Structure 1
Amino acid sequence: MEAELKELLHDLESLNQSLPDPSHRASIDKLRLRVEHLTSLEMSGPVRRLKVQDMSAEVVDSNPYSRLMALQRMGIVENYERIREFSVAIVGIGGVGSVAAEMLTRCGIGRLLLYDYDKVELANMNRLFFRPDQVGMTKTDAAVQTLSDINPDVVLESYTLNITTVQGFETFMSSLKNKSFCPRKEGSGVDLVLSCVDNYEARMAVNQACNELNQTWMESGVSEDAVSGHIQLLIPGETACFACAPPLIVASGIDERTLKREGVCAASLPTTMGVVAGLLVQNTLKFLLKFGHVSPYLGYNSLKDFFPTMEMKPNPQCSNAACLERQEEYFLAKPARDAALKAKMEAEDLSATEVSLHADNEWHISVVDDNELDSMGAASTDALPEGLVRELPSADEPQKLPGSEPPLTSIDDLEDLRRQLDALNSN
């Protein structure tokens, strides 16, 4: 834009010099002033950073990834730059989804797929991420606008659609399994789906798609009173799907739409949604980069700062047919999976015994096993230097109590005792 405005100024100057009638120059000068004003506004606007080809761990102020790459230097992750190879789909760009998208963008995720059908309203300003100047824009377009300014390295794909409709669901399925931006992972689809929707119908649509595609996903939600929330990891066949353990509202046969009253909306706190989004993305990073423990289910109660956690196994009588198929596949693959896990554990134990207990360190501290001292003949000795004696007895020698030795008896005394005994016997 700046180059185009400068070119326009040049054209106006050429036109001003070529006009024979001086009366037209006033209009041209007026146009030139307006173009100069627009140029100054463009130059004073926010500066977008250029794309970065490779992540660098160099600690300089101009490196946007130095703090992230420090995780690798500190041994938390083996190779943090792998994050650029992953694709994550976020369904629902609301209070949780928009913040999760921003966190992943700042972490340098490779590609984000964003799904929502709603528009930004002033009523959304109590939440994080969206701005008043974005009111009227679709949430997906507003998200792309903000996220592309934060990190232009992230590939952003937006889908303004409702996944609960037939056409929307088909587009959703197609985008999950056919889109891939990394040549080494062509055709592999997305690595993880994050469900950040606020209704049961949309959650069931995500559940159905992930069960059919055998796609791992994470579900999240915040309560209507805005003081509690949760995240949940769902692996088709291995853990309970969303239909395996339906909410009480569904188990009771109540229509969710009948519970919403006219003119009454759910409470919404940016704090609760920020906490849930942080927990969701934290577990997403652990899942993708293979570090730490990924929580199967983690709740959050802000009133007591309580974080319950638990595991949920799949329901053998689940109503979802695709879930039952995934359960059967998981059961059939169990022997091979157990054998591979056993071989891996044995290999780790073998490598652990081969590696020395204490590696070299910068403080030159070494620890020697007692057995090594015995094998080297380094036995301790109680010998004292010449001229020194012990004040106390040695603890290693058995001590003799005073008076415990039998009295010494001479041979003459024994003969005398024998004569006395013989005299007694003769009587």
Structure 2
Amino acid sequence: MLAATIATQSIEFYDFMIYGMAASLVFNKQFFPAINPVAGVLASFATFAVGFAARPLGAVVFGHIGDKYGRKPALLGSAVAMAVSTTLIGLLPTYSMIGAAAALLLVIFRIGQGIAVGGVWGGATLLAIEYAPAKRRGLFAAIPQIGTFAGLIAGIGVFMVITKVVSPEQFLGWAWRLPFLLTVVMFPVIFYVHRYIEDSPEFHEVEKTMAARSEERARDSSVIQVLRRPKYMLTVAFIFIPATVVFYMSSTGMIDYGVRDLGIAKPTMLAAVMLSVVGAAVSTLASGWLSDIVGRRPVYMGGVILAGIWSFAMFPLMDTKDFGLIVLALGVAQVALGAMFGPGITLFAEMFPPKIRYSGASMGYQLANILGGGLAPFIMVLLLESTHTTASASAYVAAVCAISLIPLSLAGRLQAQSREQEPVEQTG
């Protein structure tokens, strides 16, 4: 079951993240060539952010499908929606072919990606938590997140290979489409993975539980119940914002900064990001394991504090243009991210009673991605261009980290309230 959730996350986030790579490297030229380069980058990152705006809709739509019809159709539907949207982006005519309609279609397909990824996260992650031993939930919840980093590494690797074997002109002209079109070969993998999940005894047990509670959900859906207690969802969102900001600034925004502002070669920046993501994967597993021993909040708080402080060292190290120091700059940021990713998923799940956990954790998580991750590269470029100093971007990261410490301090109280509403063994 864990292998299946990792594979599902990998496929979904490969598709979602290659858009970020293309937004950093090519979309400003192919879809927004009529405006100046900086405005083109901002417009490109704006379309990147649109996908995040659609993610809560995916959490609601596929969460409802998963509650009413079972998890297999919800997970399968979200995976197919992602594969179709991504493939269509690879086939999309550019501005030079159909004018402004190209940008409009790009936004539509990006929305499709956002809806899809908003649906898969809750099912894959919470399935792992639900069947984990009570004292190992942190580790079991961290394991599926490896799929997120595996998808990112795979996406970067594909772009690295392409930029190595084709000329810059060929990459800009047609080769950028290849990572998107490779999604076609993933359709058989998608169906295999979801067939495996269907055959899992644990999955069938969940289906039986959902069927037994269908009458209750018909009277009052889990989405409505979550919206009636917004403080839970908002607490999750504001706790998780720093993780989303760090993730997308260090994996997407920094590619643009290194290539466009510092003149670093595309393959070099892609290699640096890929190496740094390995640090995030290791940190996520280690932090999830540690949270089972010392608690979720202390580990998460350590990641937040490290991210806020390190943001002021990251840009100066990048500015040296030394490959080793660039990897160090991004790697420590990714380690801080892992310290939030590892315990965070279980922390959020434990803030909701089981009957609304799927919708509540998913909606809070996706709201954080709107407010943080989706806007992070856009805000980073805007700050750098308007202030002409990297300190402004560092201050932005430090500010969101500091703000998140307030709701993090309230998480324990909400966990206690959740236990009172529906007792379940948890770790604070």
Whichever structure has more strand as a proportion of its residues is 1
TM-score (norm: length of structure 2): 0.23
TM-score (norm: length of structure 1): 0.23
Q: Which structure's CA Rg is the greater one?
A: 1
Instruction: Identify which of structures 1 and 2 has the higher relative contact order when contacts are C-alpha pairs closer than 8 Å and 6+ apart.
Output: 2
